[in-house]
Chains A and B, each alone.
Chain A
Amino acid sequence: MSEASELYQQVILDHNKNPRNYGDLPSHTHSSEGYNPLCGDHYHVYLIMDGDTIKDIHFAGTGCAISKASASVMTTLLKGKTRAQAEDLFKQFHDLVTSPVEQTPDEDALGKLAVFAGVREYPSRVKCASLAWHTMKAAVDKNGQAVSTE
């Protein structure tokens, strides 16, 4: 399964099996719910914001390995970041998963996000990878409102 493992890299499998920052954050100040009606992926993202800074971030829910690993990686990247930095990372992530397959991703700049480059080959899975990010953004911008991929 050589080609497929480009998508299902060890990092993704690991985050799927042992998701980081998983579970409710009882004292959260911001939250949102994201849902992909096509495949049933369903997550909550909880944040504790201190002014413009993300003091803590958790997620909970169910879905495929791609969506879960993406949510997990996202929480590890965003803790301690400012709102502007979070948006910038989201943009980098979005640009990565929607960029042409031929384009070689800048792994140094992308850091941990680079493992999601493989998603580009599977247009039907881009939504899975992006769901948590959209949910995070909704939580920060429109606290309490749910988002859907459709």
Chain B
Amino acid sequence: MKTAADTFDVMKIREDFPILHREVHRKPLVYLDNAATTQKPRQVIDAVSAYYSEINSNIHRGVHYLSEKATHAYEEARKTVQHFINAPSPEEIIFVRGTTEGINLVASSYGRQNIGEGDEIIVSAMEHHSNIVPWQMLCEEKKAKLCVIPINDEGEIIFEEFEKMLGKRTKLIAVTHVSNAIGTVNEIKKITAMAQQAGVPVLVDGAQAVPHLKTDVQNLGCDFYVFSGHKIYGPTGIGVLYGRRKLLERMPPWQGGGDMILSVTFDKTVFNALPYKFEAGTPHIAGATGLAAALDYVSRTGLEKISGHEQQLLSYATEKLLLLKGLRIIGTAKHKAAVVSFVIEGIHPHDIGTLADREGVAIRTGHHCAQPVMERFHVPATSRASFAFYNTTGEIDVLVSALEKIIHLFS
């Protein structure tokens, strides 16, 4: 029987990514830092370049030809996003700078409006700092309380603890779909089902999920879903906030300016409808068109094939890495995305990162903007290899042999 991965031609995909053919320190680049940001296919680079060389103009303002073209491209991009995550309507797609900005938007607008003294916001112990700090700031301002769902030794949410926490005072749950630090894929449907019973909205940080898993916000049952373009082969500086229309409509704008208003006098300003109410100022039009090109690329390739290939890389890497002396993997959840965080006894992650770099291998070392996760596993930092659909088992071999050399050097 043919599996999805059999029909997946990774070499053909690599041809589309110009940067994968460059060298670093006179060695072929092995890019394994995809959780930080992904590389861009020619199709995305071309879309951005075509936008600037052919239709660059401001949107929703001019009646001239270019402005209409640019407006059309921008709004088509919104629809591409809508279909990609199966949102009910394009008005529920708000373009932002990235995940961080999307979460801050919800914290400033929904949060300030709906969270008060003594209320509780629940996050998990595996959140990225961008899904912790905005809520901490809000809690401080409103004298509300931030509650943290603990995770077990494998790096999975402890649902019994979550259930205990969920109560009358809970006003919002903000959790990541996939952990950037340890790769855990969270059971979002289980969380939203419990939250719904308690009548609490759920924000999902999808930064690490959309590039790897087929995402359907209606099926997930979440109220807000946020992700960054640059982590799914699109440009930096563009991201998406999906929100349920009912919630978005009731939320106040968070930034004031052009595009977000219907009319302005010094007595009264009338805010624009969704999604423009939340898009003050000239947006990243080129970024939106680039993001749409990226999502088209992923859709054409097929997320099932992508995740099939990435899961193969994950098991191959896990198996090979565990053969190395003194290596321990942090994060061993049953359901993981293609992220391997590890420590090697007696060698600091930063030394590993610097030495691997000399072999052309780009991995991330440090706390991965998730210091509470490092604390949970009692390590100051880890090294992290994170894979994308253009990575190969051959590249994992290069990583492993670089690590062998490093272990030898330090022995």
Q: Which residues of A contact B (CB under 8 A)?
A: 1, 3-5, 7-8, 13, 16-17, 38-40, 42, 62-66, 122, 125, 128
A65 and B348 contacting across the interface, CB-CB below 8 Å: yes
Q: Closest CB of chain A to B262's CB: distance in Å?
A: 45
Bound-complex Cα distance A13 to B346 (A):
11
- Residues in A neighbouring B354, C-beta threshold 8 A: 4, 7, 122, 125
CB neighbours of A64 from chain B (8 A): 348-351
Interface string of B151-164 (1 = CB under 8 A from A): 00000000000000
Bound CA span A46–B44, Å = 55
Q: Out of A3, A8, A40, name the residue touching B25 (CB < 8 Å).
A: A3
Q: B interface, by DSSP: helix, strand, loop or mixed?
A: helix
Q: How far is the CA of A74 from the CA of B8 in the complex (A)?
A: 55
Chain A residues near B374 (CB, 8 Å)? Answer: 40
Question: Least Cβ distance of A97 to chain B in Å?
Answer: 14
B residues contacting A by CB (< 8 A) are 25, 347-351, 354-355, 358-359, 365-367, 374, 380-381, 405-406, 409-410
Name the residue of chain A whose CB is nearest to the CB of B359: A1
Rounded to whole Å, the gap between the CB of A123 and the closest CB of chain B is: 11
- Of the listed residues A8, A38, A42, the one surrounded by the most CB atoms of chain B closer than 10 A to its CB is A8
Q: Which residues of A contact B381 (CB under 8 A)?
A: 39-40
What residues on A are CB-neighbors of B25 within 8 Å? 3
Q: Which residue of B lies closest to A17 (CB)?
A: B410
Residue of B nearest to A119 (CB): B354
Residues of the A chain whose Cβ atoms lie less than 8 Å from the Cβ of B366: 38-40
Known A-B contacts: A1-B359, A64-B351, A65-B410. Give 12 more (CB < 8 A): A1-B355, A1-B358, A1-B409, A4-B359, A5-B409, A40-B366, A40-B381, A64-B349, A65-B351, A66-B351, A122-B354, A125-B354
Residues of B within 8 A of A13 (CB): 409-410
Q: For B409, list chain A residues within 8 Å (CB).
A: 1, 5, 8, 13
Q: Which residues of A contact B367 (CB under 8 A)?
A: 40
Looking at the assembled complex, report how far the CB atom of B359 sits from the nearest CB atom of chain A, in whole angstroms: 7
Q: CA of A63 to CA of B355 in the docked complex: distance in angstroms?
A: 16
Contacting residues, chain B, for A16 (C-beta < 8 A):
410
Closest to B366 in A: A39
Cβ of B355: which chain A residues have Cβ within 8 Å of it?
Answer: 1, 4, 8
Residues of chain B contacted by A63 (CB below 8 angstroms): 348
Closest to A16 in B: B410
Residues of chain A lying within 8 A (CB to CB) of residue B358: 1, 3-4
CA gap between A17 and B348 in the complex, in Å:
12
Least CB distance from A39 to B in Å reads 5
B contact residues around A7 at 8 Å (CB): 354
CA A8 – CA B25 in complex, angstroms?
A: 16
**Residues on the A chain within 8 Å of B351, using CB:** 8, 64-66
21 contacts between A and B (CB under 8 A): A1-B359, A3-B25, A3-B358, A7-B354, A13-B410, A17-B410, A39-B349, A39-B350, A39-B381, A40-B366, A40-B367, A40-B374, A40-B381, A62-B380, A64-B348, A64-B349, A65-B348, A65-B351, A66-B351, A122-B354, A125-B350
Residue among B349, B354, B366 having the largest count of chain A Cβ atoms under 10 Å? B354
Q: Within 8 Å CB of B405, what residues of A?
A: 1
| Docked complex Cα distance between A7 and B349 (Å) | 16
CA distance A13 to B348 in the complex (A): 12
Instruction: Please measure, in the bound complex, the distance between the C-alpha atom of A10 and the C-alpha atom of B365, giving whole angstroms.
Output: 23
A40 & B359 in contact (Cβ 8 Å cutoff): no
B406: nearest chain-A partner, CB-CB: A1
Question: Is the pair A128, B350 in contact by a Cβ cutoff of 8 Å?
Answer: yes
| A8: nearest chain-B partner, CB-CB | B409
B13 to chain A, nearest CB (A): 30
Contact partners of B348 in chain A: CB under 8 A:
63-65
Contact partners of A1 in chain B: CB under 8 A: 355, 358-359, 405-406, 409
CA distance in complex: A40, B343 (Å): 14
Contact of B380 among A4, A40, A65, A125 (CB under 8 A): A40
Report the minimal beta-carbon distance from B144 to chain A, rounded to whole angstroms. 27
* Chain B min CB distance to A37 (Å): 9
A128 to B, closest residue via Cβ: B350
In the complex, chain B residues whose CB is within 8 Å of the CB of A38: 366
